[in-house]
């Protein structure tokens, strides 16, 4: 049995980086929750192309790590809950011997200090043998040779342009000439377009990993 208490915010943020349920690699279908050596819990997710790790320093896990996939109805409830600050989730396997049973969990949402009256049973534990769970931390590079900051909205505009006729299919290429320099933005197949993005000045370029990320 595993019981997790975590910020609802991290569940939504991690969910954005996981693949859909049709993805053949099932560990990509949800986010992984496990203990953090520095205290709290780590919430990790990957869709096979991107990966993220969040630390919920107030999070609690009692039992083995699990990979969680939240269903659309539960996500809708969580989105409503996160409109209030401090919303929490309590996720609990239902006590059967197989923690990976896909119907073997419940979830409660806490808003303003009060848990929901009823538990929602849903298929939220992804069936991944422990030996198949990836090394999420291992995919992060050990050294950083270039750091440049850009306004997130500007990057979003280029991403929208790249995907306007083939969402999720067309790559976006950033061509660099060195740290802190303007970057050319290239969209393969768009010979009618050239783009450039200028770096932000005076931003914090201390990109060392946080102390809780231990390899």
pLDDT per position as a tens digit, 127-138? 677 777 888 888
Separation of alpha carbons 96 and 163, rounded Å: 44
Q: Are residues 33 and 119 in the same domain?
A: yes
pLDDT reported for residue 98: 40
Helices marked H in 71-173:
72-81, 152-162
Q: Is residue 18 within 8 Å of residue 41, measured between CB atoms?
A: no
Q: How far apart are the first and last CA of the chain?
A: 27
Q: Are residues 121 and 163 in the same domain?
A: no
Residue with tokens 């991107």: 50
pLDDT (tens digit per residue) in 92-139: 876 543 434 445 667 788 876 666 655 555 546 666 777 778 888 888
Confidence of residue 9 (pLDDT cuts 50, 70, 90): very high
Q: 109, 139, 169 — which closes off a domain?
A: 139
Domain count, the chain: 2
| Residue 52: CATH number of its domain | 3.10.150.10
pLDDT reported for residue 101: 41
* Cα–Cα–Cα angle for 111, 113, 118, rounded to 5 degrees: 65
Q: Is residue 6 within 8 Å of residue 15, measured between CB atoms?
A: no
Q: Is the pTM of this model over 0.85?
A: no
Q: Are residues 67 and 48 in the same domain?
A: yes
Q: Are residues 43 and 147 in the same domain?
A: no
Q: Are residues 131 and 148 in the same domain?
A: no
Q: 139, 172, 201 — which closes off a domain?
A: 139
Q: Are residues 165 and 198 in the same domain?
A: yes
pLDDT (tens digit per residue) in 16-34: 888 766 656 777 888 999 9
Q: Are residues 57 and 146 in the same domain?
A: no
Q: 139, 171, 205 — which closes off a domain?
A: 139
Q: Are residues 169 and 187 in the same domain?
A: yes
Range of the domain at 211: 141-215
Q: Are residues 106 and 11 in the same domain?
A: yes
Q: Are residues 184 and 108 in the same domain?
A: no
Q: What b/e readout covers 177-188, taking b as 16+ CB neighbours within 10 angstroms?
A: eeeeeebebbbe
- Cβ burial of 174 (10 Å; 0-12, 13-18, 19+) is middle
Q: Per mean pLDDT, which of 18-22, 56-60, 110-114, 180-184 is the most reliable? A: 56-60
Which stretches does DSSP call E strand in 86-135?
Answer: 88-93, 105-111, 114-115, 120-121
Structure tokens at 88: 């929490």
Q: Are residues 40 and 65 in the same domain?
A: yes
Confidence of residue 55 (pLDDT cuts 50, 70, 90): very high
């Amino acid at each position: 049995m595993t019981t997790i208490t975590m910020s609802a915010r991290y569940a939504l943020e991690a969910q954005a980086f996981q693949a859909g349920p049709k993805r053949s690699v099932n560990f990509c279908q949800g986010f992984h929750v496990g203990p953090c050596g520095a205290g709290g819990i780590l919430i990790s997710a990957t869709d096979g192309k991107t990966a993220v790790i969040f630390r919920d320093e107030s999070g609690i896990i009692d039992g083995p790590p699990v990979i969680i996939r939240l269903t659309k109805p539960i996500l809708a409830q969580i989105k409503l809950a996160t409109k209030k600050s401090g919303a929490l989730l309590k996720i609990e396997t239902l006590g059967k011997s197989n923690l990976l049973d896909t119907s073997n969990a419940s979830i409660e949402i806490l808003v303003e200090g009060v848990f929901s009256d009823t538990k929602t049973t849903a298929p939220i534990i992804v069936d991944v043998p422990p030996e198949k769970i990836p090394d999420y931390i291992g995919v992060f590079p050990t050294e950083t040779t270039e750091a440049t900051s850009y306004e997130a909205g500007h990057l979003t505009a280029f991403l929208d342009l790249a995907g306007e006729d083939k969402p999720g299919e067309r790559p976006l290429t950033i061509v660099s000439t060195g740290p802190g320099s303007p970057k050319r933005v290239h969209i393969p197949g768009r010979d009618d377009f050239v783009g450039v993005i200028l770096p932000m000045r005076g931003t914090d370029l201390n990109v060392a990993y946080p102390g809780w990320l231990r390899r």
